Amino acid sequence: MTDGAVTDEATPAGGVTAARGFRAAGVTAGLKESGNPDLALVVNDGPEFTAAAVFTSNRVVGAPVMWSRQAVKDGVARAVVLNSGGANVCTGPGGFQDAHATAEKVASELGIGAIDVLVGSTGLIGVRLAADKLLAGIPVAVGALTADAAGAQAAATAIMTTDTVAKTAVRTVETPAGTFTVGGMAKGAGMLAPALATMLCVVTTDAVVPADEADAALRAATRVTFDRVDSDGAMSTSDTVVLMASGASGVAPDLDVLTEAVTAVCADLARQLVADAEGASHDIAITVTNATTEDAALAVARAVSRSNLVKAAIFGNDPNWGRILSQVGTVPEEIAPYDPTELDVSVNGVMVCKAGGAYEPREKVDMAASRDVTITVDLHAGAAEVTLWTNDLTHDYVHENSAYSS
């Protein structure tokens, strides 16, 4: 790797405005019955306007995803407007018109083209947005734009739905040519499953980045971060992760240096999503080691993370390795070859299963002392390793999702 050190020391505050060339705002447009902030805007003031984005792989998508997929194809975006209080999904032609009108209104207020405005929405599916309130809120958001940390925090707060805290991250990178910064914000607390995990996320950098490299860095980062968060197995219709580069630092990092920094920010935000997962009392890191391939390791980790029995056991502080091993066995041999009689399982560092059978007493595992739980499955089949993050299944998750509103 070329010289370029990602550091947390003396990291500037500000989330999406930590990188030079960006302003942000978060305001209340009245989309939420609660009266909480519900409209965010992030603007790239340049001098460059590079952008890349990745979206949900769900076949049912919202109008904002449809709009933004097309708008970002040229590798350019000057603003992202995001709302909570309604997902604008399954709302027909009228919903797409609302997304288009939102981009047009932002463009008009900023004096730019609508094709350079990306749109993101989150909230209830199947309910038409109150477009009049949304459009009326845009001039207010434009008037509130600021490059300081308060604007970034306001924007991160405005995109929250069932989130209990706003989520931001920043990394600075020292290179021989100078310093550049990557900042970001995300929302997400439920429907966290690939592709991406349910989220709206904006990442900004003041590095000088060609569009193809921005796309490559973002896809490499999401593959090992957001795509490895699997809270509840429910894939969203609205996942959107946007990377914008202003070039304001004048630093043009090598692709691997940029990718490392973007990945660090995405990893930080992904962990925050899991830590705020709806009703969760444990954050669970599932590591599969010694698999034949990375895909094999990921398939096994995914199988364990999707088990309600495993997740309920963790909620009860029970290191039930039988449930874990049972899930490992659901992965077809052609996807993940291994010998079932050689499988080892450790929970919080205690090997409770060795060579496919009981080993250390489960009473040695302390799961009540910390929110963090580690599950390690050793396949003894190769050299590949993957870690996936999930959480436990609690009474609060059931309650929150049986009474969900925007």
Among residues 6, 234, 285, 274, the alpha carbon closest in space to that of 125 is found at 234
Q: Give dist(CA 215, CA 169) in Å, integer.
A: 20
Give the C-alpha distances (Å, rounded to integers) separating 12 from 75, 156, 182, 184: 27, 16, 10, 12
Evaluate whether 344 touches 354 at the Cβ level (below 8 Å): yes
CA 26/CA 153 separation, integer angstroms = 8
Q: Quick one: which of 243, 240, 254 has its CA closest to 182?
A: 243
Catalytic residue among 91, 157, 198, 222: 198
Tokens 């059978």 sit at which residue? 357
Length of the chain: 406
Instruction: Determine the 3-state secondary structure of 402 from DSSP.
Output: helix
How many C-beta neighbours within 10 Å does residue 158 have?
30
**What token pair was written down for 386?**
């993957």
Catalytic residue list contains 172: no
Catalytic positions = 198
